[in-house]
Amino acid sequence: MAVIHHTVLEPTKLELLTHWLPTRPWYRGDSGEPKLAKAGGFRLDDPNGEVGIEFIVVTDAGGPRPTDYLVPLTYRGAPLEGAEHALVGTMEHGVLGRRWAYDACQDPVAVTQLLALIAGRVGAQDQNTSDTPDHEVLGSYTGEGPIPGDFGATVSDDRAGTELSAPSGSLLRLLRVLRPVPDGSSSSVGEASGSVVGSWQLPDGTRARGLFAVLHHNPQP
């Protein structure tokens, strides 16, 4: 299980994201200077214990209306080879030293663990407490056959989020701009064969629940 260190980060995660979010095509703000607050999230464990995997939900109050974003990050003790384009920034960690923070959609360790969450092979972990499951985050899979493990050959961002494709034609989409769904179902995005549903806090203090990711699996004949 990942160990959560309650220590100082310089710069903080929110400071890194303040500069990075406006560069994304799914960012909805118009000022170019987000006003971010943490609204929730969860963690996934790296089986090898080397990569930190955190799915952060932030609320941006810098635009015409508050917008909630899903921002998965990975934290590494050394640069990820060939992933310079996915680097969000570096931080100095009070315990672990320098950490390289990456867009987790382009980190193979995070993608593998997200697919394992959808398949039900692993569970989500609390964002802030070591060795504590997060039972509000649920992965589900109703598709046929095993989920392919070769997502990430093509990763693309658009206005709605981030899409990862597998050679089989299967698609994994992360919904970057979050919207509450009353029943937490995947019906709002068509016939999905897998999904991740989670919760976060709205600016008025109430809890929202909705889709974080959906999988459209195209099984091989």
Q: Render pLDDT for 179-192 as a digit per residue (tens, 0 to 9).
A: 998 765 544 445 78
Q: How far is residue 116's CA from residue 199's CA, in Å, rounded to a whole number?
A: 19
* Domains in the chain: boundaries: 9-216
Confidence of residue 115 (pLDDT cuts 50, 70, 90): very high
52-60 and 36-44: which strand pairing? antiparallel
Residue 15 sits at φ, ψ, to 5 deg, of -65, -40
196, 70 Cβ separation under 8 angstroms: no
Residue 11 preceded by cis peptide, ω within 30? yes
Q: How far is residue 88's CA from residue 78's CA, in Å, rounded to a whole number?
A: 14
Residue 26 sits at φ, ψ, to 5 deg, of -90, 0
Least confident interval from 87-91, 97-101, 179-183: 179-183
